Structures are given as structure tokens and as C-alpha cells.
Amino acid sequence: MNILVCIKQVPDTKIIKINPKTNTLDRSSAPAILNPYDAHAVQEAVRLKEVHGGKVTVLSMGPPQAKVAIKKCVEIGADEGYLISDRRFAGADTLATSYALYKAIQKLMDEQGIDLVLCGKHAIDGDTGQVGPGIARRMEIPPLTNVIKVEEVDLKEKRMKVRRKIEDGYELIQSELPCLLTVEKEINDVAYSPLPNMIKAARYNPIVWTVDDLDDVDIKQLGLKGSPTIVGKMWPPEKSAGAEMIDGDVKKQAKALVEHMLEKRELFEVKGGEKV
């Protein structure tokens, strides 16, 4: 079973700051990490490979430093990784991103065949959840979104059954293969990487493709040129009244929090002295 996983390197949104002058993300303020949902997608691909055999390939579009995220996937158990990286991809919105990834997938499909494509539910920075379905539409394969469990894979009959999260429960869906899944974090736990994988990842050098390595690319659909989205305005979410971030390690934070609560203890009392 040949599985392709699309992965994105993102800034750690738990740490990232917003530039107060430009109101844009200050990407230099946070370390780059593998999009957490994509780590679960890779883990699921590795699990499926262990059951059904085959190969796990990861693919990313991004700057050269995105190789680090690909190496992380090799640590989780991916067999190989491709990075499509070229100035002509820069400035891409989700439409142009899904086009570029689709072109690379088409090439990999011709070279090695792909039974299943996996993506994360969304990227924690852009957060649109559009890229996975965008790729599926271009490949003309079914997109199964918000998957929390792979129930069954029948490679002989070329079909699979998955459990999808919906608002008030879940639904079971059967699809033909190949198809594309976007996965939720509940699908698995990302295991600690075994030492041989860590050694392999440290030595691994992802394969880099530029636009010229892809076949039949319409340059007009790439990068900023191929991006009809216009970001009109961006602003940080308004702080709720009185919200405050406490710096320091957990002990310092807890101490400061208790002191702060004691200072404001009148907020925790109602008239008559009865605590609420």
C-alpha cells in the first residue's frame, strides 16, 4: 500500500507573536515545527504500512528549512520525503498550494503509484482546511475529511471504510481507493520514535524538486500569480477584559497566579461574605 502524506512546516502557534505595527505574524518569534495534525497523518500511514506493507512517502511545499519537518516524519517512520521548493511557488494561497502539491503528486503517482493520500485536518497557522480537499478535487478522487479511525482497508477490492467526526457524533463512510483523508488528532497517538528511526532521520536528506522537475506545469497557476485570494485586513484577536499572560516556568506562573488571585479575592466573594 503506497501512501503519500502531505505535511507542512508551521510556526509554533503556542509561542508566535503578532507584530503590533504591521498586525502580521512575526514568524521569527516562534520555532518552526511539523504541523501537529500532519504528525498524526504520518503515524497513521506508518501504522497502515505495518499492516498492509508498502511505502510511506511525505511531500511538502515550502522553503529549504522545511526539510527539517520532513526529517521529523522519517523519525516517525516515513520511508522518504520530497520537498518542492522554488521562488516561483512563493506567495501561494490555498488554490495555488493545492495545484503545486497536485503536480508533484501526479509525478509520484506516475513513478511509483499511490493508493492513499493523507493530510492533516488543518494547518495550525493558515487554518483553512482547504488544501486537502483542493488536492482531492484536482486528482478527481474522493475526499474524506475529519477522519478519526480507519475501520477497514481492502486492497483487493480497492476500497476502505473510515469513521468521520461530525457535529453530533460520527459517521461510517466507504470509499474507493485511491482516496484522500484529512485526519483529526484522535486518530492515533504519535509514538516516541525508536532509535534506528532517529539515526536514519539524522542522516536523511530529503529530495528537493523545483518547478522544472514537475511535468506540464502551468506557471500562471503557481505562487502569487496563481493566487486570487486577497487578504484585506488582518488583526489580532481582541484581548478579553483583564486577560494577562504570566511569564516564567510552571512554578513561577503558579505562584504569580495565586498571588494575583489573593490580591483580587474580592472578586471571589459575594456580599455577606459567602464564598462562591
Q: Is 106 in the site for ligand FAD (CB under 6 A)?
A: no
- Among 2, 43, 57, 97, which residue interacts with ligand FAD (rule: CB under 6 A)? 97
Through-space distance between the first and last CA atoms of the chain, rounded to whole angstroms: 58
Exposure letters 259-274 (e unless 16+ CB within 10 A, then b): eeeeeeeeeeeeeeee
Q: Is 94 in the site for ligand FAD (CB under 6 A)?
A: yes
Residue span binding ligand FAD (CB under 6 A) among the ranges 116-124, 140-148, 166-174, 203-211: 116-124
- Among 16, 47, 68, 128, which residue interacts with ligand FAD (rule: CB under 6 A)? 128
| β pairing state of 32-34 and 25-26 | unpaired
Site track for ligand FAD across 61-80, x = CB under 6 A: xx------------------
Q: Is 227 in the site for ligand FAD (CB under 6 A)?
A: yes
Q: Are 101 and 164 in contact (CB under 8 A)?
A: no
Closer residue to ligand FAD (CB): 97 or 146: 97
Q: Is 132 in the site for ligand FAD (CB under 6 A)?
A: yes
Looking at the DSSP bridge assignments, the partners of residue 25 are 18
SS3 helix, strand, coil % of the chain, rounded to 5?
A: 35, 25, 35
- Among 44, 75, 93, 115, which residue interacts with ligand FAD (rule: CB under 6 A)? 93
